Structures are given as structure tokens and as C-alpha cells.
Structure 1
Amino acid sequence: MKKSITIIGSGFSSLAASCYLAKEGYEVTILEKNATIGGRARQLIKDGFTFDIGPTWYWMPDVFEKFFADFGKEPSHYYQLEKLNPAYVVYFDELDTVQIPDNLPDILDIFEIQEKGSSKHLQSFLDNAKHNYDVAIKDLVYRPGISITELITPVTIKKANQFFSTIRTAVRENIKDSRLQQIMEFPVLFLGAKPSNTPSFYSFMNYADFGLGTWHPKGGMYEVIKAIYVLAMELGVKIKTNQNVEKINVDNGTVKSVVANGETIFSDVVLSGADYHHTETLLDKKYRGYSEKYWNSKIFAPSSLLFYVAFDKKIKNVSHHTLFFDTEFDVHAQAIYDDPKWPEKPLFYASFPSKTDETVAPEGKEAGIFLIPIAPGIEDTPEIREKYFNSIMERFESLTHQKVMDNIIFKESFCVTDFINDYNSYKGNAYGLANILTQTAFLRPKIISKKVKNLFFTGQLTVPGPGVPPSIISGKIVSELIKKSFQNQSEKGSKSDGAETNSKEIKADSSLRSVKAYFV
């Protein structure tokens, strides 16, 4: 009889895990709380406009290729990719912008123009970053985070100093132009932490940026969700939406079932791709692996205030991805990590996918996504959202030399309260736990429950960390651990059966000798 696996949530990690597990022959069912699949990577469609609600950056294309290759597929079987050029544009003020081209030679030229001699330092930095990428993405991130020994290899021993120095130190050692420094520190923001707290080993994110480039799947990032969904269906995965999991039942230390919408669903294994903290609240307290004090002590990646804006005209002087670094990053970062509060003058990011993709907005119109990184857990009201929208749009108009406020057809917002309501996100965080040294690899919450047999976790609160590629990798890691767990249980059962049979044979043989002795 097939082993049954119930997966809570249908984000990238859950969908990836479902494919690997179904491929192994397990009976896999996904229970999704919301009406549509995708978790944080859902989609907003309105009046002919299409917006990615969550992730908008397609980085590390090799990770996606590796995932589909595991099933004899390619991304091109499911969606069309376009490499963006420029990859993104950075505004420092209205007269100072930097475009990041789609290839390294041109990027080196850009750096050299901004600061004489910097291209040589950037090349050296990226040579090391590529080596780190090969070590991390092709090896370390696929390890389950069970023990510190996973990180101890001949290569990492040689690079030990990079785990105790920071990205900020490495970047600013030779690059002196503040704009170039900010551009080089930008990629680690995807890890959810300040450059001053992020180990310099994570420079592999710079290689992902400058070396591998920025891509766009036609139709948006949700096309990747749809692709993995189609693959999951082909492999026999069952997916049920509008399924609110209310309880995880445990008997004698082993998971037995979940309760969704009042119905008990029995399962050999439960895998949660939902928020880790929330998942543990579905357990009786004695079965929770981490206390409220533990969660409260962790450094979380930011939450976000997002706006999805439909314009009745094309927007000028912007790229598909546009960063607005016209304010002081360190001051904004303090309001996220050191003294959580609404920032006075935040940096922000804008995405205009309709610059690249004609399918996401009606002809002659523009779809715009605006994001402000904020501290998780802070107050979230309609009045605050409106205040910040007006603030960043005033700056946007000034920096890009155009009026756009009167050209808004509609706008929708998403913030802390929505992350909590829609995803049960701890304090409304958007990206999980920050990937700082004390919260990396084996120091993150475990994939395998510490107290409940056959309960597993996946996603950006566990190994390897935040981001779409790491989430897909997390799905693979946990599927391999589940497979190994079943194999171990099967072997133990076989040994136990063998021992019992052997014991009976010994007992029978002993009894036979006694009978013989009696008659002889």
C-alpha cells in the first residue's frame, strides 16, 4: 500500500516537494488555505492587468533548470524566458541613475566610468563570488541542515574567514564610490539581512546578479508556479484549495492526521510548507519544537508594503526593475532591524513588467508594482498605507520627471496584516528568517520535527533560506529526508520481524529439544 503524505500549503517549496515525492510513488495531497495555489507567489488579475503579488525577480536560472531536469523536463517546456537588458536601473537622484546591463563586460565598463580602477576590483570580487556560488548553490544549499559537519569541507575550511567577515567589509575594501557600494550590497537584501550582518561568503548573490543575469518569465513569476503545478498533476499529486488546516493530530509522538475545515485527514507523513511558527501552533504545546521566546528572539527578514497600480498610460524613464536609492539606506535599515518602526524616508523598488511583457497590461497602459521594505510586526492601517503611497509617488514623479498620480486607474495594497491573514506569517514577515551567520544552515529551524515523528517542514523559515530558488531547493531536501525516513522505518521493521521470527525459531527449537530429552 502506498504511503500517504499530506502537504500543508502550495508555495514553491510545497509544490516542488510534492513533485519529488509523487515521483517516488507516494500518495501526495496538498491542502491550500487560499482559493488559488502559489502561497506568497499568487497573482492579482483585474481589468486586463496582471500583477505578481509576491516574487517578481527571476534569478539563478540554473536552479530552475536543475529542478525541471530532475523530471526530464526543461523550463522552456512550460514558460518562455527573456533576459532583461538592462537588468535593472538604480536612481540615486533625478540626475544620477545607473543602468546595470545584461552582461559582465558592460557592467565592468559601467563601474570603470563611475570610479576609475573599480572594474579590476569588481572582477576580482566576482571571481571569488563565482567560486562561492559553485560551492554554495551546487553543494552546500542542498544539504539538510542537520549538523555543523555539513559545512565543514576542505573548501569551506579554506574560506572560513568569509563566514566571519561581512559583505559590507568585502565590498567597501576596494570600491569607494558610494553608489557602486550600494549596487554591490543590493543583492544580499534578498537574503533578508543588512550587508553589515551578512557573511561575505554570500557574495555568491553578486554572481547571481552580475554573472547569471535577471530574467523574466512571460506572464510573470506565477507562470513558474503554474509550470510546477502542471508537473505535479502529471505525477499524480492531488491539490485541494480553500482547505484551512486547523489541527495536527499526534498519537504517542507520531503524527496521525490533520484537521482541515473540520474534516480529519489521516496520513503517514505531514509536511508543512506553511509558516513554521504557525504550523507548530497547530500542535499540542508539548509537541512544539520551538517556544514563543525562541521565535521572538530571531531576526526576521523584512515585511513589505506593496502597491499594485494600473496606469492609463505608459510610464517614462523607468525599466522593468527600477530601484530608488535616493535616501540613506542605513537609516532605513535601522527602522527595519534595530528600532522597528515605519521609516521616515524609505528606499523603494518599482517593477513595470509591462515594459517587457505585453500580456500583463492592455495596450498603451502600464502595470506597476511598488514595494517598500518595512519591519515585521509594526502597525498597519489604511491611513498609513495611503500616507506612504503618496510619499513615494511624489518622489517617483520628481525623480522620473513625469506626473502619474492622475493617470491611476486603480491601486491595490498588501502589507503586514495581509501577510498574517493570507499566509499566517509570523509578525507579517514577507521573506522568512534573515540569513545571518547565527541563522544559517544547521542553525535554522529544523526540517525534521524535533518532537513529532513523521512531521516535516519546508520553505523559507527552514533550510536553506529565503527566496524562490532556495524554496525550490528546500522542497527537494525535505523530499529526500522523507524518503530516507520511510526507508529507515522499513529496514527497522524488517529487522524487527526477522528478530521476532528468529526468536520464535529459537524458542521452537528449544521446546523440541526438551521433548526429545523427555522421550529419550
Structure 2
Amino acid sequence: MSSLTLDRPRSPVVRPGTRVPHAIVIGSGFGGLAAAVRLGARGYRVTVLEKLDQPGGRAYVFRQDGFTFDAGPTIVTLPQMFEELWSLAGRKFSDDITLKPIDPFYRLRFDDGETFTACRDPEAMRREVGRLSPGDVDGYERFMAQCKPIFEVGFEQLSSQPFNSVLSMAKLLPELFRLKSYRTVHGLAASYMKDPRLRIALSFHPLFIGGNPFTTTSIYCLISHLEREYGVWFAMGGTGALVKGLVSLIEGQGGTIRYNEEVSAITVEGGAATGVRLASGETLSADIVVSNADAAWTYKTLLPAEVRRRWTDKKLARARYSMSLFVWYFGTKRQYRGVPHHTILLGPRYKELLRDIFDRKVLAPDFSLYLHHPTATDPSLAPPGCDTFYVLSPVPNLASGVDWAHAAEPYRRAVSDFLSRTVLPGLEENVVTSRIVTPQDFHTRLRSVLGAAFGFEPVFTQSAWFRPHNRSEEVDRLFLVGAGTHPGAGLPGVLSSARVLDSVVPHGADLAGNP
């Protein structure tokens, strides 16, 4: 596995007998858990407050009828970022977590039944491109060559930068222009590929982080290089094994995680965050507060309007929010051995469907789906002879006005019928357990504004400096991590947001002993 160099933060020294500074982390998604580990390594006493009854946030784990369902992220694309967290806590990642490579990465199934299989081997990818469109092999090579410097700048250089000033953004504009970041992801892929199917296959990735390939800046083409260079991995036991491992690190550092504790407000005095008030009425004081809650929710709901100068209610109302998701988790009493770990099933429309989802906010009768089949890799996630699945459909957020209490079951049946006709024959009669998550759940359960599954949409004007900063622009000693802040959604993104804290949060030793 290729190595990605990650600079290690300086470990502070706190003198015996001094007061250990207290950090409160709101939310236990991957961003919050990673932030807690980093703060613990930097000399803080950490308390994580979680609204739900177990950790994970969007990476919550549902267990029912002997089946295990990872609610959110399903793969790891940069294991080095987890390895670093374990190292900061004095542990070895491989002692706790077993990663298995997923190769092929995924299979795309077009509406006419044609398929495209993406894998890590460059020669196999050239053959697959050539099978669909012999004249596009050279263009594919040039596209991948372009993705490498995009990754080197877009991820290696930018993802851990705090972007506290507009000047920090301005300095990068010439480089971003050279990399054609003014183009969209689909636009850049289309400039190299002629076949419309290959244009889709090389540009759909922003949908994994809440972006429309036709509007998301081409800087996100870095995902194509990231997959080839570092591979796609699955944590045995499911993504929940990673959550459990991070919780163990935090507790091993002396940190605490409190469940069923919803934060109703961040307390502010003298222009600085001083702690939080819980829905129960209890108030907790802290030297710093880190919010892993939805960034828009943090500003709209947790901070009083009088301290907000940039992220006002008016600005938040004008912001562009990501699409939402309809997710059906189901277990079957039979196994579907020919179905790979990841399948992307495209419907009859592509650009028009995305326009319905992102712009028109219309729940269309057709859809494109992502089918996750974890028991293809880890049979322990289902009872013997059974299979675990979830199928995800991008849908408009709650600005659509859809009443999901009535729409959910008809939509599920349509998805089930489609899967039965394509890759899971006889599905409905084989389903033995079922669970649905809708945009309303993202709003009610996860406190996402408009039920947006990924926070702010990752268009250029809502990226880097334009995104909510990791160090709050509104009050001192408040910091943000997670999908809604810089650099954005996806596991590498939210882990990077926690990594930014190393450059913007004071060392625990610097606060030790202060009142």
C-alpha cells in the first residue's frame, strides 16, 4: 500500500498538579470522534456529548433480527488517517481493526444492462474502458494523469489547511485555475472521454459526498486518483468496528462519552464559547467547544442570533444544501452470491434526474441506486445462509415538501421491484427484515437542516474559505468538524476536518492551570 505522509502534531507536556483543560465535543460522528482523540493527545480532558443512544452519528449501526446494518459510510479509502489516530493514542491500528481490500471497487450497471467494473489495476481499467469504447483509452489515461496533480493539491495540500482568511484562499487561486477547477467534475471527464457511459463512470463520485457532478468543482476528481493510489477497503465487522475502536481510544485517554444527551445551546460569554446547555437543562463548562453537529444547525440553532455576524439566518436560508437520501436496509433469507460488494444501478435518466433532485427539488418516479452488499465480504453481518444489504437512492432534501410519512413505502416498493427485475431476483419474497431512513429522519434524528444528508452542497462558492470555518468566525474557542465544514463530506473529509484542529486549537498545555 502506498504511503501518504502525515505530519504528527506536537505532544504537549502538562505539569503535574495543574488543571487539565476541558474540551466538549458535540456529536460522535467520525469527525467528532477523531477530534476527541486528537484533543486527548494534546492534553485535554474530553467529554463527547451524543444525542443518540450509541456513537457514530451518520455512521450509526442498526442491529435487528440477527442482521447488522451500517447506517452510513461503508468503505475506507485512506487507512493512513485511521492509523495516525491510533498512533496518537499509543495504539496500533492493525491490532484492533482488520481491513480487507475491495477489488473490484464497484460495478456500474447502465439502464440498458451494460456494465462497467472499476478496479485498482490500471491495465484492467484500460481493458474495461476499451471494451466499452476503444477510442477512449488514450483519453482515460490523460484523465487519470490529470487527477494525480488535482489530488496532490486538492487533498494533500488543501484538506488540512484551516482557510481562516480570504488571503489564504486567494493565494491558491492560480493553482486551482491551472488545475481547471473552474470546470465541473462531469465537464472535466467529458473533455477527455467521448462515450457518455464512461463520462458518467468517471464523474459520478461527488454523489458520495452530496454533490451534483454537473455543478461540483472538478477538484473532486481527486477521488479517482485516491481510489487507484490507496485502494478501497472494508473494515471487517462493518464500519461500526471503526466507531467502536475510536470510542475505545477516547476512553483509553481518559475521555468520556455521554449518550442520550442532546445539546440545546452553546453558551457564550465575552465573545467566547464557555460550554453547553443540554436539553435536560444541565450546563457544562469547557475551555473549548468542538461541534460535530451539522454546521448549519450549529449556527442556526445552537448559537444565539446576536453573536452571529456571518452565518446569519438570512445567509443560512440562502445557502445551497446537499441532496438527501432514501435508504432501505434489508436482510434476505437467501444469499445472492453473484452480487458484488458495491453496485451502482443507473436509471433511464442521468443529468435530468440530478436536475430534479438538486435544482427542481422534485421526487421523480425514476431513480439511480447504490446497492451495498457487505456480506459479500463479511458473512458475519448476517445469520448463516442470509445476506445483508442496503440500497440508497439520492432524493431531494426537505425543500421538496415531500411527505415521507406517506411516500416512503410506495417508494420502497418501487425500489424493490426495480432490484427484483435487475440484480436481486425474487427479492420481495426473500426479505425477512427491513428498515427505512428518509430525509425526515436526517432532519429529526440527526438534526440536519432541511434533512440534507451532507450539509452544504460542495459547489466552489461553498468550498474552502467560503465554507463554515473550522475555527468559528463568530465566537472564540468554538471549532467545527464534520461534513458541513472544511474540507467537506466523506470519511477522508471529516477526518481531515478534525486534523485541521491541530493548527487552530491551542495546546492543552497552553491552557493548563488557567481558570
TM-score, length-scaled by structure 2: 0.90
Alignment partners' CA distance in 2, 1:360 and 1:154: 45
Q: SS where residue 23 of structure 2 aligns?
A: strand
Q: SS where residue 25 of structure 1 aligns?
A: coil
Alignment partners' CA distance in 1, 2:35 and 2:264: 22
Match of 1:391 among 414, 417, 436: 414
Equivalent residue, structure 2, for 1:337: 358
Letter in 1 for 2:240: Y
Aligned pairs for 1:415-454 within 5 A: 415-454=438-477
Match of 2:139 among 110, 121, 127: 121
Once the two structures are TM-superposed, the CA of residue 440 in structure 1 deviates from its matched residue by 0.8
Alignment partners' CA distance in 1, 2:263 and 2:424: 49
Give the structure with the higher percent helix: 1
Alignment partners' CA distance in 2, 1:194 and 1:277: 20
Q: Please list the CA deviations of residues 455-480 of structure 1 after superposition, one character each: whole Å capped at 9, or x if unmatched.
A: 22211111111111111111121243
Q: Please list the CA deviations of residues 63-113 of structure 1 after superposition, one character each: whole Å capped at 9, or x if unmatched.
A: 334444444544322211111122111111363122223422211110011
Q: SS where residue 90 of structure 1 aligns?
A: strand
Equivalent residue, structure 2, for 1:98: 116
Alignment partners' CA distance in 2, 1:199 and 1:73: 38
**Bigger radius of gyration, 1 or 2?**
1
For the Cα contact (< 8 Å) 1:272–1:456, is it kept in 2? yes
Once the two structures are TM-superposed, the CA of residue 150 in structure 1 deviates from its matched residue by 3.0
Percent identical across equivalent pairs? 27
Matched, 1:375 2:396: yes
Q: Please list the CA deviations of residues 154-204 of structure 1 after superposition, one character each: whole Å capped at 9, or x if unmatched.
A: 895374351212222221123111211111011122232222212223211
Q: SS where residue 141 of structure 1 aligns?
A: coil
Matched, 1:235 2:250: no
Alignment partners' CA distance in 1, 2:160 and 2:176: 20
Alignment partners' CA distance in 2, 1:485 and 1:426: 33
Letter in 1 for 2:73: P
Q: Please list the CA deviations of residues 235-287 of structure 1 after superposition, one character each: whole Å capped at 9, or x if unmatched.
A: 22111111111222222322223112211111121111112222232232202
Match of 2:491 among 465, 468, 473: 468
Alignment partners' CA distance in 2, 1:126 and 1:74: 33
Match of 2:234 among 202, 212, 216: 216
Once the two structures are TM-superposed, the CA of residue 216 in structure 1 deviates from its matched residue by 0.9
Q: 1:156/1:213 Cα in 2 relative to 1: closer, same or farther (>3 Å)?
A: farther
Q: Which moved more, 1:166-175 or 1:465-474?
A: 166-175
Q: Which moved more, 1:20-29 or 1:397-406?
A: 397-406
Aligned pairs for 1:12-411 within 5 A: 12-71=30-89, 73-93=91-111, 95-151=113-169, 157=175, 159-160=177-178, 162-260=180-278, 261-280=280-299, 281-289=301-309, 290-315=311-336, 317-377=338-398, 378=400, 379-400=402-423, 402-411=425-434
Q: SS where residue 299 of structure 1 aligns?
A: coil
Aligned pairs for 1:4-15 within 5 A: 4-15=22-33
For the Cα contact (< 8 Å) 1:18–1:28, is it kept in 2? yes
Letter in 2 for 1:272: S
Q: Give unmatched runs, 5+ long, in structure 2.
A: 1-18
Alignment partners' CA distance in 2, 1:284 and 1:366: 47
Alignment partners' CA distance in 2, 1:201 and 1:284: 35
Letter in 1 for 2:418: R
For the Cα contact (< 8 Å) 2:29–2:55, is it kept in 1? yes
Q: Please list the CA deviations of residues 30-51 of structure 1 after superposition, one character each: whole Å capped at 9, or x if unmatched.
A: 1111110111100011111000
Q: SS where residue 209 of structure 1 aligns?
A: helix
For the Cα contact (< 8 Å) 1:32–1:242, is it kept in 2? yes
Letter in 1 for 2:283: T
For the Cα contact (< 8 Å) 1:140–1:151, is it kept in 2? no
Once the two structures are TM-superposed, the CA of residue 119 in structure 1 deviates from its matched residue by 2.2
Alignment partners' CA distance in 2, 1:401 and 1:220: 22
Q: SS where residue 93 of structure 1 aligns?
A: coil
Question: Which contiguous aligned blocks of 4+ residues in structure 1 show a shift greater than 4 angstroms?
Answer: 69-74, 151-156, 484-487
Alignment partners' CA distance in 1, 2:481 and 2:469: 9
TM-score, length-scaled by structure 1: 0.89
Q: 1:403/1:433 Cα in 2 relative to 1: closer, same or farther (>3 Å)?
A: same
Letter in 2 for 1:24: R
Provide the aligned length of Structure 1 versus Structure 2: 491
Q: Please list the CA deviations of residues 423-455 of structure 1 after superposition, one character each: whole Å capped at 9, or x if unmatched.
A: 111111111212211111000012223332222
Matched, 1:458 2:481: yes
Alignment partners' CA distance in 2, 1:475 and 1:80: 23
Q: 1:154/1:407 Cα in 2 relative to 1: closer, same or farther (>3 Å)?
A: closer
Letter in 1 for 2:187: T
Letter in 2 for 1:452: V
Q: Which moved more, 1:69-78 or 1:9-18?
A: 69-78
